Structures are given as C-alpha cells and as structure tokens.
Amino acid sequence: MKASLIGREVEVPKGCLAVYVEDGMRRFVIPTTYLCMPEFREILDKMENEFGFNQKGGLKIPCDEENLIEIISLLDQVERRESKIKKKTMQEKHYFAIS
C-alpha cells in the first residue's frame, strides 16, 4: 500500500493503515488491529457520518491532531494490556499442561 506524504510516495508497512486528521491533513500510520477495537470503531462511525467512506486519498478522521494523538496513546495502552493478559494466560496454560 502506498500513501502520499508531502509530494512523495512512502510505503505504509504491512498490517498498518494511513489516516489523516481533518485539520492540516497530518498523516498517521496506525496498526490495522485498531479497526477491531470498540474505541476506534466510534471514530470510524463518526468519520462515516461526517465524510462518508467514498473519500479520495486516505481516511480522514474527524478530530484534531492533539485528540488523535491522545486516542492512539490510549489504544496503544489497551493493546499492550491485552497482549500481557494473553501472554500470561498462555503461560498459565503451559504451566498446567506440564504438571
């Protein structure tokens, strides 16, 4: 997948998605795993109501840059917490499988 940034082509890594905030069109690259998170679904619903899904270029997020940075930070925390829980659960299963 390619996305335009300041007049040049840059690759968006596999498993990621480029989104833009409505003010200033600053570009953010986020993991596609965010698309399944309820917190991000709320943003997508708002985006659909405001811009629709027939946008040209990348997805435009209807919030300012500062708010999106805060949301991304919170989603990162949720993802890390879920990853730790999943890892702990797998370790516990492994522990019980041995005994």
Is pLDDT above 70 for 94?
no
> What confidence tens digit (pLDDT) does each residue in 36-81 have?
888 888 888 887 887 776 766 677 887 888 888 888 888 888 888 8
pTM for this predicted structure: 0.65
| 3-state secondary structure string across 55-73 | CCCCEEECCCHHHHHHHHH
